[in-house]
Amino acid sequence: MNHGHTYREQVDARGAGRAVLTHLSERFGHATPAEWQERIERGQVTLDGASTSAAALLFAGQWLCWSRPPWEEPPVPLDAAVLHEDALLLAVAKPRGLPTMPGGGLYLEHTLLAVVRRRAPEASPMHRLGRDTSGVVLFARTAAAAGVVQAAFRARRVGKVYRALCAGHPVADHFTVDAPIGEVPHALLGTVHAASPGGRASRSHVTVLERRGGEPASALVEVAIETGRPHQIRIHLAFAGHPLVGDPLFGAGGLPLPGTRALPGDPGYLLHAQRLELDHPVGGARLVIECPPPPALRTA
């Protein structure tokens, strides 16, 4: 059981014009509309610091706040080995199944952020991995270091190399995927990131390490990404005709599978952040942080 949490949300264009009850029920599905109604009537939901009603309409810029009582979070692995540590940076190995950040109404203290902050309360994540993705996650320990690292990410001066198990046998040993990634319709979320002609420029370089037999046939690949779009590797390999083995969401063309109700965080695939390279915020020496892949993503 965690300690509960007080949520503060600034209403944006998506929430503007909606009733408080409708917005909370649809955005935070861990409670039923009847439960939200009861919380509102008890004064546990405030709008700009004052009690509100279920029918009150939201306006962009308002602050919607509510306190959630303690709840039992799903079990996840809570170990995170330290890969690098100094006064400015902390890099850890995120296990598969552990969310990087709170989200979805399920996870708060069962997250990598909570695990790391028990060791370094000042640490802030510089990027994130999907819940079912393992490997290197970098944290900054000061605001100054965070600014330098974030600028390096924006300027694409950070090297990111992953390993994945994809379906089928790619014909080429080396190939590049540069399909743009943007939002497309999703039955449950409204939209989800996927291959989209009008999306943002994205590029992944794929190297086949090993072609494997079995049913179905698969390939162990290394993927270096120039950009860091949401679910980029899953989308790009699916776009190339080789979706990750076990991926419940992305299929041919880098789009959600027809009729799927899978969410981006749903498990099943094998993806590992193996290496992160960047210039250290002080001195500029090139820092290479590596995390050995799990057995299923190692070459024979």
DSSP category for residue 197: T
* Higher local confidence (pLDDT), 214 or 20: 20
Cα(8)–Cα(22) distance, integer angstroms: 17
Say if residue 216 is preceded by a cis peptide, omega within 30 of 0: yes
Cα(22)–Cα(57) distance, integer angstroms: 10
Q: Architecture of 5-68 per CATH?
A: Roll (3.10)
User: Phi, psi (5° rounding) for residue 139?
Assistant: -120, 145
- Looking at domain 156-269, its CATH superfamily turns out to be Pseudouridine synthase (3.30.2350.10)
Cα(22)–Cα(63) distance, integer angstroms: 16
End-to-end Cα separation, the chain, in angstroms: 42
DSSP, residue by residue, 7-55: EEEE--TTTTTSBHHHHHHHH-TTS-HHHHHHHHHTT-EEETTEE--TT
Q: Where are the domains of the chain?
A: 5-68, 73-155, 156-269
Q: Architecture of 73-155 per CATH?
A: 2-Layer Sandwich (3.30)
Per-residue pLDDT, averaged over 91-99, amounts to: 97
Per-residue pLDDT, averaged over 139-145, amounts to: 98
- Distances 94 to 85, 116, 293 between C-alpha atoms, Å: 15, 10, 11
Per-residue pLDDT, averaged over 100-126, amounts to: 93
Q: Do domains 5-68 and 156-269 have the same CATH topology?
A: no
Express each pLDDT in 254-293 by its tens digit: 999 998 989 999 999 999 999 999 999 999 999 999 999 9
pLDDT classification of 297: cutoffs 50, 70, 90: very high
* Percent of the chain topping pLDDT 70: 100
| pTM attached to this predicted model | 0.87
DSSP category for residue 300: -
